[in-house]
């Protein structure tokens, strides 16, 4: 399960990401890029990275909708 700090870092990364970056990546590329954005701000072990990847995969449509609105 994703902890609240990592979740906040993820959503902060989504909101700070250039919209073209989100639109130009395929799903796997976007998930990897977003995981990297969070990892630049927080040390994640392999289980936390897996949990974050799973969390992102269930929210890709929302992430893309946020990018489309900006």
pLDDT of residue 1: 85
Give me 10's structure tokens.
């993820």
Structure letter (DSSP) for residue 17: S
Nearest-angstrom CA–CA distance, 26 and 43: 25
* Residue 17, phi-psi category: left (phi > 0), alpha (psi -120 to 50), beta (remainder): beta
The chain-wide mean pLDDT, for the chain, equals: 94
Residue with tokens 């909101």: 15
Phi, psi at 13, each rounded to 5°: -65, -40
pLDDT of residue 16: 94
pLDDT at 24 over 90: yes
pLDDT tens track for 45-55: 999 999 999 99
pLDDT of residue 11: 97
């Amino acid at each position: 399960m994703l902890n609240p700090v990592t979740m906040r870092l993820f959503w902060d990364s989504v909101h700070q990401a250039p919209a073209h970056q989100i639109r130009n990546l395929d799903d796997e590329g976007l998930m990897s890029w977003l995981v990297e954005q969070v990892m630049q701000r927080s040390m994640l072990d392999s289980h936390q990275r897996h949990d974050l990847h799973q969390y992102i995969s269930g929210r890709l449509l929302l992430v893309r909708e946020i990018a489309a609105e900006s």
